[in-house]
Amino acid sequence: MSTPSGPEHDRPDPSLTAIMSERRQLINLAYRLLGSLAEAEDAVQETYARWYAMSRQQQDAIESPGAWLTRVAGRICLDLLGSARARRERYVGEWVPEPLPDRTEWSGGRPGGIGADPADRVTLDESVNMAFLVVLESMTPAERVAFILHDVFRYPFAEVAEIVGRTPVACRQLASSARRRIRAAQTPATAAPAARHADIVRDFKQAWEAKDIDALIALLDPDATAISDGGGLAAARLDPVQGGEQIAHAWVEIARRAPGLTVLERTVNGQPGLVAQQDGVTVTVLAFDIADGRIRRIWAVRNPEKLRPWTTGRSGQEG
């Protein structure tokens, strides 16, 4: 059969620009839902694949393509969150969300990915800082989707219900339960202002480089926790390190075992963090939770599959 031709068939799709302009919003949504940029990219690609699998007539019949894309992406993420729980039960050691660099530090698209710069499209606000993402991991998939869609992206519960497959009342209850989880994870401690946060991270870097155990202990909360994520692909402690003194000794031991380690100050998920390099290659990205002038939690991501955005580019420059 010959391929149809003519002005009507050859005309460009007037909705293409509008459809593709939704990509930033979808990446932002999917990353917050999944805690993984790689999985977020895959979810968004699958969303667009479903759009383009429809006929032109089916596409034209959709009143709001943006709303359709969001519903499909949300459902894909909901399914992925369900399967992710089983996968993470088999994960080697602790699972930490994939850290995001500042857009100026992004090294390029991942192999086989969309090839552009997802970090340039993920808005680095308080809803992507590592502490927030870690709390999201404690939620059920339905709680997480309802909370992110309503509280972060301001979708009305009627629309959230279409994605989650529950009633609006049930979605309101899910979001309320998610908020309780967030409040329970918070402490009365006062979060450090951005400038002070950066100073404490810088002091930690200097004390680590100097192998100064006393200085490290002074910067760490006595009840601090450090979690490492190697995913079975890089050396990492399988269990959290508990206590400021224990963390200080552990980090000094790391410095002693890796004399060529270079530590750089970098933005990690919108907050001051550190990047450790060995022979110019990023091997660890560290995010910090700081309150009352002390470090309460450290997340050290060493799984190389989560470090692809950090492995080349400007990472060799001090900043």
What is the dihedral sign for C-alpha 240, 242, 244, 250? negative
- Asked whether residue 291 is domain-assigned, the answer is yes
Indicate whether 239 belongs to any domain: yes
When pLDDT is averaged across residues 242-264 and rounded to a whole number, the result is: 95
Task: Tell me: pLDDT of 179 over 90.
Answer: yes
Q: Is the pLDDT of residue 256 over 70?
A: yes
Average pLDDT over residues 306-319: 62
Q: Looking at residue 107, what is its pLDDT?
A: 56
pLDDT recorded at residue 313: 44
| Contacts for 271 with CB less than 8 Å, ≥ 6 apart | 129, 130, 194, 197, 287, 288
Res 236: pLDDT: 94
Task: Single out the residue of 287, 280, 285, 225 nearest to residue 250, CA to CA.
Answer: 225
Q: What is the phi/psi pair of residue 63, to 5°?
A: -65, -45
Q: List the structure tokens of 246.
A: 């224990």
Q: Is residue 168 part of a domain?
A: no
Mean pLDDT value across the chain: 87
Task: Reply yes or no on whether the pLDDT at 265 is more than 80.
Answer: yes
pLDDT in tens, 222-241: 999 999 999 999 999 999 99
pLDDT at 87: 80
pLDDT of residue 12: 52
* Domain boundaries, position 281: 194-316
Mean pLDDT, residues 257-283 taken together: 94
CA-to-CA separations, 136 to 139, 197, 275, in angstroms, rounded: 5, 22, 24
Higher confidence at residue 147 or residue 108?
Answer: 147
The pLDDT of residue 88 is above 90? no
pLDDT of residue 189: 59
pLDDT at 116 over 70: no
pLDDT classification of 195: cutoffs 50, 70, 90: confident
Query: Does a structural domain hold residue 221?
Result: yes
197's enclosing H/E stretch is helix 194-209
Answer whether residue 161 is part of any domain. no
Q: What is the pLDDT of residue 208?
A: 97
Cα distance between residue 165 and residue 161, in whole Å: 5
Structural domain includes residue 211: yes
Report the pLDDT value the prediction gives residue 111, as an integer from 0 to 100: 38
Residue 155 forms part of a structural domain:
no
Which region among 15-24, 138-147, 214-223, 264-273 has the lowest average model confidence (pLDDT)?
Answer: 15-24
Tell me, what's the pLDDT at 118?
58
- Total domains in the fold of the chain: 1
Neighbours of 122 (CB within 10 A): 23
Does the pLDDT at position 20 exceed 90? no
- For residue 223, is it within any domain? yes
CATH number for the domain spanning 233: value is: 3.10.450.50
Q: Once rounded to an integer, what is the mean pLDDT over residues 62-80?
A: 95
Higher pLDDT, 225 or 11: 225
| Portion of the chain with pLDDT greater than 70, in percent | 85
What pLDDT sits at residue 222? 98
Rounded average pLDDT over 145-170: 96
